[in-house]
């Protein structure tokens, strides 16, 4: 079966007939957009809304609380600069060292301008992920906002989200969560526990395309945010042309600005439609069965686990430490030559089995790794 040795769902998700569905969606867009009539927006905007509705259903977001962004970084930036003036000034903004690097790069450039101090909770010596106790110790009442990483991209470690959010409430902080590495695989509900905002993308377990990011913002906070980047779509009525009468839309649409870019949403919609039709429990059970086999494989090959062994404390990936005698990029290249798709960060081999990966594919990986590492 095509894709049975594909272990890259932490990066780009695949599902059966994805290329066919994507080509059909883009072909339909080309036909619509290239027609010499006035029917373009009547077709495109409802499809963008259907993309939003699909995402809202995945994370149980209320209507009018989720919108599109090009990336997680862009969505996070838009939220930060829309917060009430001075909310972060004189406060700390707390993140873990194993948050997605792009978010950290963003925050490093914003602290001085917006008056907050970036506090990064470090990894312990030799650790693969930030310990929750260390994060909680650093989470003091002077933290104005904490960005939690639900599942780490470098270890697949999963935090105890209810515990972390409860602590944040006691500290009086805004609590946001990056759900990118597990959204669409592990169940997630923005109301259980209630978070203030969430960011994600459609690339990974959702099997979508680049550019299809999302921002969720709690309805109780939306009225207090005034996005700096605003335009005609930020209004309740986008067709208000009176330049002296701008007012923000009452819901998440205030984070829209100029004419919305719809391409990524339309391109990702077939994947989200496919996902909505699947048995979500079966998808997760399939992943859990294969990740258990990958952990057994790591033990057999005496490869140290980077990922927590406890199923409840990890996402959908298994990551292992390769020996220094076998550079990771060389191992990845050798596997690629045998039709097995993986990747690595430093000496960490990342393996993420999804709906197209099979037990036969795991067996092929096991045989290949045994040969490469012996």
Is residue 351 a part of any domain in this protein?
yes
In this structure, are 68 and 193 located in the same domain? Answer: yes
Give the domain-ending residue among 225, 244, 276: 276
Identify the three-state secondary structure at position 369. helix
The DSSP bridge pattern shows strands 197-201 and 174-178 to be parallel
Is residue 29 a part of any domain in this protein?
no
In this structure, are 231 and 258 located in the same domain? Answer: yes
In this structure, are 42 and 143 located in the same domain? Answer: yes
Give the domain-ending residue among 246, 276, 306: 276
Identify the three-state secondary structure at position 8. strand
pLDDT tens-digit map of 35-83: 999 999 999 999 999 999 999 999 999 999 999 999 999 999 999 999 9
How remote is the C-alpha of 206 from its chain's centroid?
9
Both tokens of residue 38?
């006035």
CATH number at residue 326: 3.90.1150.10
**Conformational region of residue 310, where left means phi above 0, alpha means psi within -120 to 50, and beta covers everything else:** beta
- Supply the DSSP string of 257-296, one letter for each residue: -SSPP-HHHHHHHHHHHHHHTS-HHHHHHHHHHHHHHHHH
Is residue 170 a part of any domain in this protein?
yes
Answer for the pair 345, 154: CB distance below 8 angstroms, yes or no.
yes
Query: Quick check: 335 pLDDT over 80?
Result: yes
pLDDT-derived band at 2, boundaries 50, 70, 90 = confident
In this structure, are 244 and 308 located in the same domain? Answer: no
Is residue 33 a part of any domain in this protein?
no
> Tokens 């697949």 sit at which residue?
156
Q: Residue 86 has what pLDDT?
A: 83
In 83-210, where does DSSP find H-type helix? 101-108, 111-114, 132-138, 161-171
Both tokens of residue 44?
């495109």
pTM assigned to the model:
0.96
How remote is the C-alpha of 204 from its chain's centroid?
7
pLDDT tens-digit map of 189-241: 999 999 999 999 999 999 999 999 999 999 999 999 999 999 999 999 998 99
In this structure, are 205 and 62 located in the same domain? Answer: yes
pLDDT tens-digit map of 113-155: 999 999 999 999 989 999 999 999 999 999 999 999 999 999 9
Is residue 3 a part of any domain in this protein?
no
pLDDT-derived band at 85, boundaries 50, 70, 90 = confident
> pLDDT over 70 for what percent of the chain?
100
In this structure, are 56 and 137 located in the same domain? Answer: yes
Q: Residue 374 has what pLDDT?
A: 85
- Is the four-CA dihedral 342, 96, 195, 51 of positive or negative sign? negative
Domain containing 340 equals 280-373
Is residue 6 a part of any domain in this protein?
no
Q: What is the mean pLDDT of residues 159-186?
A: 98
CATH number at residue 244: 3.40.640.10
Measure the CA–CA gap between 70 and 116, rounded to whole angstroms.
25
In this structure, are 240 and 183 located in the same domain? Answer: yes
In this structure, are 176 and 309 located in the same domain? Answer: no
Query: Quick check: 1 pLDDT over 70?
Result: no
In this structure, are 317 and 271 located in the same domain? Answer: no
pLDDT tens-digit map of 230-277: 999 999 999 899 898 999 999 999 999 999 999 999 999 999 999 999
In this structure, are 348 and 232 located in the same domain? Answer: no
Give the domain-ending residue among 233, 252, 276: 276
Is residue 28 a part of any domain in this protein?
no
In this structure, are 79 and 189 located in the same domain? Answer: yes
Report how many domains make up the chain.
2
In this structure, are 305 and 255 located in the same domain? Answer: no
When the pLDDT of each residue in the chain is averaged and rounded to a whole number, the result is: 96
Q: Residue 36 has what pLDDT?
A: 97
Query: Quick check: 369 pLDDT over 70?
Result: yes
pLDDT tens-digit map of 269-318: 999 999 999 999 999 999 999 999 999 999 999 999 999 999 999 999 99
Is residue 13 a part of any domain in this protein?
no
């Amino acid at each position: 079966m095509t894709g049975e040795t594909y272990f890259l769902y932490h990066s780009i998700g695949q599902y059966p007939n994805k290329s066919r569905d994507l080509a059909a969606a883009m072909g339909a867009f080309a036909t619509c957009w290239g027609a010499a009539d006035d029917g373009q927006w009547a077709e495109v905007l409802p499809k963008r809304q259907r993309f939003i509705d699909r995402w809202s259903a995945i994370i149980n977001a209320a209507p009018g609380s989720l919108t599109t962004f090009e990336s997680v970084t862009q969505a996070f930036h838009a939220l930060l600069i829309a917060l009430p003036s001075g909310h972060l000034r004189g406060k700390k903004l707390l993140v873990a060292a194993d948050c997605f690097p792009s978010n950290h790069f963003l925050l490093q450039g914003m602290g001085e301008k917006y008056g907050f101090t970036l506090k990064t909770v470090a990894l312990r010596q030799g650790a693969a992920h930030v310990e929750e106790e260390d994060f909680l110790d650093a989470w003091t009442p002077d933290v104005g906002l904490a960005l939690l990483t639900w599942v780490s991209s470098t270890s697949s470690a999963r935090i105890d989200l209810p515990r972390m959010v409860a602590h944040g409430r006691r500290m009086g902080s805004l609590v946001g969560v990056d759900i990118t590495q597990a959204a669409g695989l592990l169940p997630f509900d923005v109301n259980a526990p209630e978070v203030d905002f969430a960011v994600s993308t459609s690339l990974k377990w959702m099997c979508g395309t680049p550019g299809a990011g999302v921002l969720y913002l709690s309805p109780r906070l939306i009225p207090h945010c005034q996005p700096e980047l605003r335009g005609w779509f930020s209004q309740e009525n986008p067709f208000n042309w009176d330049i002296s009468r701008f007012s923000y839309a009452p819901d998440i649409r205030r984070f829209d600005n100029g004419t919305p870019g719809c391409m990524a949403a339309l391109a990702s919609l077939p994947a989200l439609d496919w996902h909505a039709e699947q048995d979500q429990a079966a998808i997760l059970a399939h992943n859990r069965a294969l990740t258990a086999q990958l952990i057994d494989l790591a033990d057999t090959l005496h490869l140290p686990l980077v990922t927590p062994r406890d199923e409840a404390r990890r996402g959908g990936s298994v990551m292992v430490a390769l020996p220094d005698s076998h550079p990771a990029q060389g191992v990845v290249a050798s596997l690629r030559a045998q039709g097995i798709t993986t990747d690595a960060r430093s000496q960490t081999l990342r393996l993420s089995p999804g709906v197209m990966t099979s037990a036969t594919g795991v067996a092929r990986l096991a045989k290949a790794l045994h040969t490469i590492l012996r």
